Amino acid sequence: MNLAGLLPLLILAGIGLVWWTNLRARGQALARCRRVCQARGLELLDHTVALERYGLRRDTSGRLRLTRLYRFDFSAPEQERGHGWVSLVGARVVAVQVDRVDGSADYELPR
């Protein structure tokens, strides 16, 4: 097989790798959102997270990583619908923000 025949396979493999990596990161974000909502007595609406933004950022070791910001919605007894965000660097959750009714926010940083 020559290089021209191998190129489509390499492209498909690259697309599959990107898709799998994004799916894994989304799963990490969703799992953290579920834990945060459960710990605060909130209901995670739609049982999903929505990708808000991609970007590049250096991690703690100085390597350039893909960052993702996911938004999620929740309901609480004192409010109709609230919003929160979970931030990932690579596939690692680095911060979670849950907005309050009074306009302030609670933050959870990894240990």
Non-local CB neighbours of 96 within 8 Å, separated by 6+ positions: 32, 33, 36, 84, 85, 86, 87, 107, 108
| Residue 77 to residue 58: CA distance in whole angstroms | 39
User: pLDDT, tens digit, for every residue of 5-47?
Assistant: 888 899 999 999 989 999 999 999 999 999 999 998 899 998 8
If phi over 0 gives left and psi between -120 and 50 gives alpha, with beta otherwise, what is residue 41? left
**Mean per-residue pLDDT for 57-74?**
90
Q: Where do the structural domains in the chain lie, given as residue ranges?
A: 3-108
What is the Rg, in whole angstroms, of the alpha carbon atoms belonging to the chain? 18
Q: What is the per-residue pLDDT for 61?
A: 87
Q: What is the per-residue pLDDT for 102?
A: 72
User: pLDDT, tens digit, for every residue of 88-109?
Assistant: 998 889 999 998 877 778 888 7
Q: What is the per-residue pLDDT for 70?
A: 96
| Residue 54 to residue 40: CA distance in whole angstroms | 28
| Residue 89 to residue 105: CA distance in whole angstroms | 21
Q: What is the per-residue pLDDT for 111?
A: 64
Q: What is the per-residue pLDDT for 1?
A: 63
